[in-house]
Structure 1
Amino acid sequence: MTAPLSDGAGGTGETIHLAGREVPLRWRSSARARRVSLRIDPRGGGVVVTLPPRVGREAGLSLLRTHADWVVARIDTLPAPTPWQDGGQVLLDGRPHAIRHCPQGRRGVWIEDGIVLVSGEVPFLPRRLGAFLRREAGVRLGARVADLAAQSGLRPRRLTIKDTSSRWGSCNADGTVMLSWRLLMAPAEVQQYVIAHELAHLRHLNHGPDFWTLVATLTPHRRAAEAWLRRHGTALLRAA
C-alpha cells in the first residue's frame, strides 16, 4: 500500500539552491524507473530525485530547476516536525501521550497512566523512545496481524516491521508482509485497514475488483482510514 509520499530511503544526500533557498536533496537510482522523477521527502523536508539506469545527474538537475517553485511550495506545506522531548507528545493508537523524562528511572521506557516515561540522559531520549516504539509496534501490530489472519485464513509467511516513508505496508509474492512501525501512532481502525489491505494481497497481488471486494470483507474502515492517512500521515513521518 503506497502512501502519497516519497521513498527517501537509500541514495546519497546533499543540498541544492532552489528558488532562493537551500533544499536538502537525495539521489536515488532505480532499475525499475523509466523516467526521472521528483518526490518530496517528508522525513528530511527535502526532495528526492530518482534516476533510471544510464541516466546522469544532469537530467535530474534540469528537472529540479524546471520545477523549483513546485518543490519549494510542496516543502512549505509539510507539517512542522514534532520532536520527541520532555514535555512533548507522542501518539499511540491515535491517542496523544505526554513524554516525561525520568533521569533516575531504571526501566528504560515505559507507559504509566497515559504517560510515556523515558529514563537515562536527555540527549538519548529520542533514540530511546524511538527504539521503544519500534518494539511496541512489533508487539501491537503483530497481534493485530495474527488476529485478522486467524479470522480470515490469510496468513503471511513472515511479518517485518520497518521504518519507511513511502509505504505504510507491502506484501511480497513470497508471502512476506511489511508494515511501517509508524502505524503504531495511527488509530486502531487505520491499523486494521492497512493490515487488511496487505493480507488481501496474499490472495490478489493487484488492486482489481476482487482485491477490493476481499478488503471490504476484512474491514469496514477503508474510506475513513484512507482519509485519515491523507490528512495525518505526513505528520507521523515528521515525528522524531
Structure 2
Amino acid sequence: MPTLQIGRKQIPYELRRSAEASERRITITPGHVEVLALTSDDDDDIAGFLGRKRQWVFNTVREMERITSDRHAVPRFMTGSKILYRGRRMRLTVRRTDGDRIELSFHNGFVVDLPSWADGDIDKLVARELKLWLKRRVRRDVKEIVADYSRRFGLAPRSIRVADFANGWGSCGAEGNILINWHLVFAPMKVLEYVVAHELCHLRLRSHGSEFWDFLRTIAPGFEASKAWLDANQGSLSAEFLDC
C-alpha cells in the first residue's frame, strides 16, 4: 500500500482509479484513507495532487484519531452507527472529503461525505442530511405506490402529502386528500404499502366496516401481516434520534 510522508508521519492510503470520475478526490474514515484518481493520471499527477492536499490530509487524519481515542467524545452519528431504514438497521459511514459540499449516498448503508469546511457540531450536520434524505425517499416511495394502485384499481387521490404526525400513520380527508406519516420510512416497504392502500380504500369506503376490510383485502392481499407488524412495532418508528 502506498504511503504519504508528512514530516515524521507516514500515512498509508488506498489508490483507486475510476474511468467515471471527473475529478480527483480523497476520502478519510477512521483508519483508512482512499485516493480516487483519474485513469489518465500518472505517478506525477497523483504525487502533485497529494502534495497540494498534504496539510488537509494530516489534519483530518489527526482529527479521526482523536475521535476514536476519546470514546466519550464520539458523536452519535459516526462510522459504524446503525440507522433504521425500511425495517433494517443499516450501517452509517461518515467520511471527510476534499469536496466542496456535503453529500449523502446509499448502497447497502448510508455514506455521508463531509467537506473540509464542515466543522462544529458534526452530529447535527449528519442528522440533518439523514433526515432530509429519508423524507425525500419516503415521498418518492409513497408517490410510486399511489401511482401503482391508481393504475391498477382506479384509486386516485386529489392530493398526496407526506408529513410529520403527532398521532396515527395516515388519513384520508372527505375531499380525497391523503396524508402519510413520514416515519413509515423506518418500517418495511410492505408496511408502508399497507398504510397507503388503507387510506386509498377510504376514497370509496369511509368507515371501517366489514365491506372496507374486504375491499382492502382485494387490493392488498395479506395486509394482515403488515398491520400486525405495525401494531407490534409502532413504538420504535420514531425520528427523535435525528433531533440534535
Shared fold per TM-score greater than 0.5 = yes
- Larger CA deviation: 115-124 vs 173-182: 115-124
CA distance in 2, matches of 1:217, 1:239: 37
The counterpart of 1:119, out of the listed 105, 113, 125, is: 113
- 1:89 matched residue in structure 2: 82
Is the 1:200–1:215 contact (alpha carbons within 8 Å) kept by the matching residues of 2?
yes
Confirm whether residue 109 of structure 1 aligns to residue 68 of structure 2. Answer: no
Q: Deviations over 1:164-184 (max 9, x none)?
A: 141111111111111111212
Other-structure match for 1:98:
91
| Structure with a larger share of its residues in helix | 2
Shift of 1:108: 2.0
Match status 1:153 vs 2:154: yes
* Large movers: runs of 4+ above 3 Å: none
- Alpha-carbon separation, structure 2, partners of 1:188 and 1:168: 14
Q: Which fold has the larger relative contact order, with Cα–Cα distance below 8 Å and residues 6 or more apart in sequence? A: 1
Q: Which amino acid aligns with 1:170?
A: S
Once the two structures are superposed, residues 8-54 of structure 1 have per-residue CA deviations (whole angstroms, 9 ceiling, x without a partner) of: xxxxxxxxxxxxxxxxxxxxxxxxxxxxxxxxxxxxxxxxxxxxxxx
In structure 1, C-alpha distance between the alignment counterparts of 2:139 and 2:76, rounded to whole Å: 20
Matched ranges for 1:62-211 at <5 A: 85-86=77-78, 87-104=80-97, 106=101, 108-112=103-107, 114-120=108-114, 121=118, 122-123=122-123, 124-211=125-212
- SS class of match (1:119): strand
Gaps of 5+ in 1: 1-82
Whichever residue aligns with residue 92 of structure 1, its letter is Y
Q: CA deviation at 1:239?
A: 4.2
RMSD: 1.9
Amino acid of the residue matched to residue 168 of structure 1? W
TM-score (norm 1): 0.61
Percent of aligned pairs with the same residue? Answer: 32
Q: How many residues align?
A: 157
**Structure 1 match to 2:27:** none
Q: Quick check: which has more Rg, 1 or 2?
A: 2
